[in-house]
Amino acid sequence: MLKDWGIKVLGPASFLIPLGVVMSIFGATNGTVFTAGRISHVAGREGHAPDFLSYIHIEKKTPIAPILLTSLLATLMIIPGDIASLIDFFGFTISLFYCAAMVALIVMRFTKKDEHRPIKVPIIIPIIVMAVSAVLIVAPIAAAPQVQYFYALLFILAGLIFYVPFVYYKRAVPGIGSFTVFLQKTLKVAPTT
C-alpha cells in the first residue's frame, strides 16, 4: 500500500520512503543500544545489578559490559523465533514499563505535591502516554494471544526473585568476584570514581 502510494505520488523519488524507514530504524536502534547500556550501567553503580556492569572502558570511557549484555540478551531472545517476535516482545515489555512509569508519575503528582520537580509537564501528557501504553499492552494480547507475552511477564517478575536476595539483602553470588576480575581484564574496564 505505502509502496504503491510512493510510486504514484513520488514517482522516481519513491526510493526515499524505504530509505527514510531504514534511517529511522538505524537511529532508533542506535539510541536504544546506548540507552539500554547506560541504564544497566547506572543499575550496576547503584547496586541493583552486578558491579561489573558499572565499569567503563579505561580508554574509551564507555560501558562495554552492559552493551554486550544487552546484545547477548537480544540474541538469545531472537534464537527461538524471528525478528518480528522480538519486536513484539520488546514493544509489549517497554509499553508495560512506560505505563507503570506514568502511573507512578501521576500518583506521585498527588501524593508528593511539595517535592522539587526540575522538569514539569502538564498532567494531561502522562495521562495520554499512560493510555496509549495501556492500549499497546492490551491490544496485541486481545488481537493475537501468544505465549511470548506470558514469557515477558515472567521475565519481569523474575527480577523480583533476584532483587530480594541480591539487592535488598545484599547477598553475593558465589564466584562473582573472580568473574568480575576476569571481565575487567578481558574487556579492559575499571570502576568509575
pLDDT score of 1: 58
Number of domains in the chain: 1
Instruction: Tell me 7's DSSP state.
Output: H
pLDDT at 136 > cutoff 80: yes
Nearest residue to 186 via CA among 76, 67, 65? 65
Percent pLDDT > 70 in the chain is: 97
Would the pTM of this model clear 0.75, i.e. be above it?
no
Q: For residue 2, what pLDDT band results from cuts at 50, 70 and 90?
A: low
Q: What does the buried/exposed string (b/e) look like for 123-158 if buried means 16 or more CB atoms within 10 Å of the residue's CB?
A: eeebeebbeebbebbeebeeeeebebbeebeeeeee
pLDDT score of 167: 86
Query: pLDDT, tens digit, for every residue of 103-134?
Result: 999 999 999 988 888 888 899 999 999 999 99
pLDDT score of 71: 84
Query: pLDDT, tens digit, for every residue of 3-43?
Result: 677 778 878 888 888 888 889 988 888 888 778 888 888 98
Nearest residue to 52 via CA among 39, 63, 36, 38? 63
Distance of alpha carbon 127 from alpha carbon 104, whole angstroms: 11
Question: Residue 152: which domain range?
Answer: 2-190
Instruction: For residues 78-84, give the mean pLDDT.
Output: 73
